[in-house]
Chains A and B, each alone.
Chain A
Amino acid sequence: MPETQDALWYKNAVFYQVHVRAFYDSNGDGVGDFQGLAQKLDYLRDLGINAIWLMPFFPSPLRDDGYDIADYRSVHPLYGTLQDFKDFLAAAHERQLRVVMEMVLNHTSDQHAWFQESRSSRDNPRRNWYVWSETDTPYRSARIIFIDTEMSNWAWDPISKEHYWHRFFSHQPDLNYDNPAVREEMWDVMKFWLNMGVDGFRLDAVPYLIEREGTSCENLPETHIVIKELRAKLDREYPGRMLLAEANQWPADLRPYFGTGDEFHMAFHFPLMPRMFMGLKLEDRKPITEILAQTPEIPASCQWALFLRNHDELTLEMVTDMERDYMYDSYARDKTMRLNLGIRRRLAPLLEHDRRRIELMNGMLMSLPGTPIIYYGDEIGMGDNVNLGDRNGVRTPMQWNGSWNGGFSNADPESLYFPLIQNPVYGYQAVNVLSQKRSEHSLLSWMQHMIRLRRSTPLFGSGSIEFLYPKNHRVLAYVRQQGDQAILVVNNLSSSAQAVELDLRRYKGKILIEMFGGNLFPRIGDLPYLLTMGPYQFYWFKLRRI
């Protein structure tokens, strides 16, 4: 366990999201594993992050990249053994790195023993562990999430000759959370890992735990009861551990998942992410300030999880039709880049390999209210491969150096779980950790610097935010404040140089200290504070009274 016992550690953390399969292959079988991940922990420590979010590593048929779990109490043999995981966890904790793991509560794989038993006969004791129906008519108001692949939320089981409920792929039957035995069993699963020392869970697909007729089967009160029950047990038996909600919802619908500080500690702010990309393309702060204005206050102990990209498509569920069309036109003109209601691309290709825009977006990620999560490989500007199907194009092996398999594995290239990115712009020969480590001006070095700055003060994780709304709408400016500390953040969303006048009169008398270089800027007076900014430039200023 990391030394700091701060119960609110997640508020000031910088997370790194990684799939064990993709990071480093220690045994040359073409697939990353826990021993490999453990070997790369120094890299993560040096990057400056202090929490790792592990994607699913359980035994699974891997039809949904591990989100189809076949056994909750073990490790997929491709990734190592349970002991390997324990060793990795201990090594991470030694380096003061917290480990948060994925936990898919909503559904299992259809290969899970529970489902196999459940479908074996209608009177099996586990029959009621899943949601069965003689017809496919119940819960018609529930939307279909994977609209590109699924026609219905019901699937026919030829064995027990009934339909079973699934909100995601048909090979992922939903567990029945109306059954107390299921709830007890899942808590028992969580305890299994908590006892080992994991620092928290990212709970997948939480809005869908409960179904009720005539509703959307999302965000139901009964779902919150299940979560409150889990949280109470966690606080009682494992204080200091954390629950992170994956709930792709509007801010007002997300807010209940924090409860009164008695449900989730953290939740992803899904609607903000596409609006950051939209604001950048529109060169207008409007989408960002509007969604943050709609974002309700959350309890002091809670935190938003912010991200630019992750293992899924850049989801456009939480935008309007007009905004979605604009995003497609701007970021995915090639229709193969589109998947479901989203865009399956990594950060660097989305931003056309433009270092200034990548830095600006990371600057906003690190300075807006919430805990930033960096997706593996984005710290070096890795590319993607839409030809791999589904969302696999953003899940390719980590690019460590320019040698054999990009330093990821000693296996034959043909036996890698996915091929490496090989194109001249984003390929591992051009984009890799080793070459970027050698340059203090590389994206990797810049990210290290950025993360250090972010972690240099708890203000970013816990402070308030006040938007300044300068008349120049291309500039997004805000003051983060905590106690008598204040940081002014000014972002130029435009591709051209801008002049902006900021009303800083309430900070009159303070001087500005630019945080990256430490240089002084003029003292704030009565007049509007004039700044000139280069294309996509941003500033972080400490406001100091000296």
Chain B
Amino acid sequence: MADESILSDDFIRQLIDVGEVDILVGVPTHNDAKTVEPAIRAIQEGIVKTFPRERAVILNADGGSNDGTPDVIMGASIDELHRSFNGYTLRTLHAISTRYGNNPSSAAALRTILAAAELLRAKACTVICPESANIEAEGVANLLRPIYREHFDFVAPIYRRHKFEGVLLTNLLYPMTRALFGQRVREPYASEFAFSGRLGSQFLNRHQWSEEFKDYDPELELTVTALSDGCRVCQTFLGTRSPTKRQARDLVDAMRQTVGVLFSALDGTFAMWSGKTASQPVPTNGPEFELSVDPLRVNRKQLKEMFSAGVIELESVLKSILTSGTLSELQQLAKAAEDEFRFHAELWVKSVYEFAASYHKAVMSRDHIVQALVPLYRGRMFTFLVENRTASAAEVGKNIESLCLEFERLKPYLLELWNGRK
């Protein structure tokens, strides 16, 4: 078992009082008093409606809120549900809260939740984002049900997104995890997901929780663990995604938390992903993909400029990371006029794979490698926005699918790079 010193004596006492549970809902918070209440209501309603017999606990892992967030959670009574639709549980529905530190940390929050889940022998666990103003009881139930009733190990969400929202996800994270691990999980990096007690324990005991990694979001690695360990994985549609604090992060940090984590996870899972040659859809509850196409104003020009500047400024770094052919193509592209600029799929996929291989070989500081990918991503984003400017949802979906297939087609290229043959 992992070191449990992160759990305070008071929290241990709370866990003793709760005892073994069937359902655990983790709510990581930091100054979310204004938004957390609807999410808690949805969680309570989801449990009352779908798991009224089960032993359940809502666990708040707080990162040092000073706005009374834990009090809001602990004070949320289910009596209101009884009044509104005669909902009740046969058992006590517990709510417990602990402060894991004075600063928010996704890793510390998840670690606290996982440790509690293991100690409580929780069968099905889910993590719900406190900013999820749109989460509904049915969504909470849909996350937990496949784990508790259908013996899945991991449930990833699917959100209704704007076609230009989550470009990093649609242009790198989704297609690359799909190509490598062979399963089409649309949202491998989500703030809401569910997992079995078995997977939770496995991840808790395997993941690097040391100080060095405390600023890294572990969620994507949890997905990779599920995909690489032969777990039963499915997806569930949760509706429109609320804006989260994560989205407000700067791009470099976002790349570290996502692409950096993904690249890092490839090392330990090579034996598994290297043998996968195609991808399969995973069981999905609800639509597999839903995009909205409302008009959205995006400053594309700046993206292209930042790409060109980055390629020129980082030439020496990119030389160490990329093959000469790829670098040359990128340098040509950097000189292209805006109306001629097109960062095509093959070049993008090759670039990403070369970055992944260089990360694996640690040709330089791994953090620098991830940072160096940022201007390239901006160039790819520019092209994605241009190509899909007037596209319908179906057309955007087709374009993303086409990119995914490119990632799958070029996977042997990654393997060659990985094994040092290029």
- Within residues 1 to 43 of chain B, which ones have a CB less than 8 A from any CB in chain A? 13-14, 16-20
Once the chains bind, are B90 and A472 in contact (CB under 8 Å)?
no
B92 at the interface (CB under 8 A from A): yes
B249 at the interface (CB under 8 A from A): no
Q: How far is the CB of A154 from chain B (nearest CB, A)?
A: 33
Once the chains bind, are A278 and B90 in contact (CB under 8 Å)?
yes
Contact indicator per residue, chain B 40-72, by CB within 8 Å of chain A (1) or not (0): 000000000000110100000000000000000
In the bound complex, how far is the Cα of B16 from the Cα of A470, in angstroms?
Answer: 11
Determine, out of A10-18, A136-144, A364-372, A496-504, the stretch whose residues face the partner at the interface: A496-504
Smallest CB gap from A501: residue in B: B13
Once the chains bind, are B20 and A496 in contact (CB under 8 Å)?
yes
- Within residues 267 to 293 of chain A, which ones have a CB less than 8 A from any CB in chain B? 278, 282-287
A417 at the interface (CB under 8 A from B): no
Once the chains bind, are A472 and B53 in contact (CB under 8 Å)?
no
A395 at the interface (CB under 8 A from B): no
B245 at the interface (CB under 8 A from A): no
Q: Please indicate the chain A residues that have their CB under 8 angstroms from the CB of B55 in the complex.
A: 283-284
In the bound complex, how far is the Cα of B17 from the Cα of A309, in angstroms?
Answer: 31
Q: Please indicate the chain A residues that have their CB under 8 angstroms from the CB of B18 in the complex.
A: 473
A471 at the interface (CB under 8 A from B): yes
Once the chains bind, are B92 and A284 in contact (CB under 8 Å)?
yes
In the bound complex, how far is the Cα of B89 from the Cα of A282, in angstroms?
Answer: 11
Number of interface residues, chain A, beta carbon within 8 A: 21
Once the chains bind, are A473 and B16 in contact (CB under 8 Å)?
no
Q: How far is the CB of A28 from chain B (nearest CB, A)?
A: 50
Once the chains bind, are B17 and A470 in contact (CB under 8 Å)?
yes
Once the chains bind, are A472 and B91 in contact (CB under 8 Å)?
no
B198 at the interface (CB under 8 A from A): no
In the bound complex, how far is the Cα of B55 from the Cα of A472, in angstroms?
Answer: 13
Smallest CB gap from A494: residue in B: B19
A474 at the interface (CB under 8 A from B): yes
B361 at the interface (CB under 8 A from A): no
In the bound complex, how far is the Cα of B19 from the Cα of A472, in angstroms?
Answer: 8
B162 at the interface (CB under 8 A from A): no
Beyond A471-B14, A501-B13, is A323–B19 a contact (Cβ under 8 Å)?
no
A146 at the interface (CB under 8 A from B): no
- Within residues 494 to 525 of chain A, which ones have a CB less than 8 A from any CB in chain B? 494, 496, 498-501
B94 at the interface (CB under 8 A from A): yes
Beyond A322-B52, A326-B53, is A499–B16 a contact (Cβ under 8 Å)?
yes
Once the chains bind, are A474 and B19 in contact (CB under 8 Å)?
yes
Once the chains bind, are A287 and B19 in contact (CB under 8 Å)?
no
| A286 interface neighbour in B14, B19, B90, Cβ under 8 Å | B90
In the bound complex, how far is the Cα of B55 from the Cα of A501, in angstroms?
Answer: 20
In the bound complex, how far is the Cα of B90 from the Cα of A470, in angstroms?
Answer: 18
Q: How far is the CB of B99 from chain A (nearest CB, A)?
A: 18
Contact indicator per residue, chain A 517-540, by CB within 8 Å of chain B (1) or not (0): 000000000000000000000000
| B91 interface neighbour in A282, A470, A498, Cβ under 8 Å | A282
Q: Please indicate the chain A residues that have their CB under 8 angstroms from the CB of B52 in the complex.
A: 322
Once the chains bind, are A473 and B92 in contact (CB under 8 Å)?
yes
Q: Please indicate the chain B residues that have their CB under 8 angstroms from the CB of A278 in the complex.
A: 90
- Within residues 68 to 92 of chain B, which ones have a CB less than 8 A from any CB in chain A? 89-92
List the count of A-B residue pairs having beta carbons below 8 Å apart.
45
Q: Please indicate the chain A residues that have their CB under 8 angstroms from the CB of B92 in the complex.
A: 284-286, 473
In the bound complex, how far is the Cα of B17 from the Cα of A323, in angstroms?
Answer: 24
Q: Please indicate the chain B residues that have their CB under 8 angstroms from the CB of A472 in the complex.
A: 16-17, 19
Q: Please indicate the chain B residues that have their CB under 8 angstroms from the CB of A494 in the complex.
A: 19
In the bound complex, how far is the Cα of B14 from the Cα of A473, in angstroms?
Answer: 11
Most buried by B among A283, A287, A322, A500: A322
Once the chains bind, are B91 and A284 in contact (CB under 8 Å)?
yes
In the bound complex, how far is the Cα of B55 from the Cα of A68, in angstroms?
Answer: 45
In the bound complex, how far is the Cα of B19 from the Cα of A77, in angstroms?
Answer: 58
Beyond A326-B53, A471-B14, A501-B13, is A287–B90 a contact (Cβ under 8 Å)?
yes
Beyond A322-B52, A496-B20, A498-B19, is A473–B90 a contact (Cβ under 8 Å)?
no
Q: How far is the CB of B48 from chain A (nearest CB, A)?
A: 10
Contact indicator per residue, chain A 459-488, by CB within 8 Å of chain B (1) or not (0): 000000000001111100000000000000
Once the chains bind, are A282 and B90 in contact (CB under 8 Å)?
yes
In the bound complex, how far is the Cα of B52 from the Cα of A543, in angstroms?
Answer: 38
Q: Please indicate the chain B residues that have their CB under 8 angstroms from the CB of A287 in the complex.
A: 90
Q: Please indicate the chain B residues that have their CB under 8 angstroms from the CB of A322 in the complex.
A: 52-53, 90
Q: How far is the CB of A475 from chain B (nearest CB, A)?
A: 9
- Within residues 201 to 245 of chain A, which ones have a CB less than 8 A from any CB in chain B? none
Once the chains bind, are A326 and B91 in contact (CB under 8 Å)?
no
Contact indicator per residue, chain B 336-373, by CB within 8 Å of chain A (1) or not (0): 00000000000000000000000000000000000000
Once the chains bind, are B17 and A473 in contact (CB under 8 Å)?
yes
Q: How far is the CB of B251 from chain A (nearest CB, A)?
A: 45
In the bound complex, how far is the Cα of B89 from the Cα of A286, in angstroms?
Answer: 9
Once the chains bind, are A286 and B91 in contact (CB under 8 Å)?
yes
Q: Please indicate the chain B residues that have their CB under 8 angstroms from the CB of A498 in the complex.
A: 16, 19
Q: How far is the CB of A545 from chain B (nearest CB, A)?
A: 29
Q: Please indicate the chain A residues that have their CB under 8 angstroms from the CB of B53 in the complex.
A: 282, 322, 326
- Within residues 141 to 171 of chain B, which ones have a CB less than 8 A from any CB in chain A? none
Q: Please indicate the chain A residues that have their CB under 8 angstroms from the CB of B16 in the complex.
A: 472, 498-499
Once the chains bind, are A284 and B14 in contact (CB under 8 Å)?
no
Once the chains bind, are A473 and B13 in contact (CB under 8 Å)?
no
Q: How far is the CB of B199 from chain A (nearest CB, A)?
A: 24
Q: How far is the CB of A510 from chain B (nearest CB, A)?
A: 24
- Within residues 298 to 354 of chain A, which ones have a CB less than 8 A from any CB in chain B? 322-323, 326
Once the chains bind, are A473 and B20 in contact (CB under 8 Å)?
no
Q: Please indicate the chain B residues that have their CB under 8 angstroms from the CB of A496 in the complex.
A: 19-20
In the bound complex, how far is the Cα of B52 from the Cα of A284, in angstroms?
Answer: 13
Once the chains bind, are A326 and B13 in contact (CB under 8 Å)?
no
In the bound complex, how far is the Cα of B53 from the Cα of A298, in angstroms?
Answer: 32
- Within residues 294 to 319 of chain B, which ones have a CB less than 8 A from any CB in chain A? none
Smallest CB gap from B16: residue in A: A499
Q: How far is the CB of A477 from chain B (nearest CB, A)?
A: 13
Can you name 24 A-B residue pairings with CB atoms under 8 Å? A278-B90, A282-B53, A282-B90, A283-B55, A284-B55, A284-B90, A284-B92, A285-B92, A286-B90, A286-B92, A322-B52, A322-B53, A323-B90, A326-B53, A326-B90, A471-B13, A471-B17, A473-B17, A473-B18, A473-B91, A474-B19, A498-B16, A499-B16, A500-B17
For the complex of A and B, 5 pairs with smallest distance between CB atoms: A471-B17, A473-B92, A284-B91, A472-B17, A286-B92
Interface residues, chain B, with chain A CB atoms under 8 Å away: 13-14, 16-20, 52-53, 55, 89-92, 94
* Other A-B pairs, 4, CB within 8 Å; known A286-B90, A471-B13: A283-B91, A322-B52, A322-B53, A471-B14
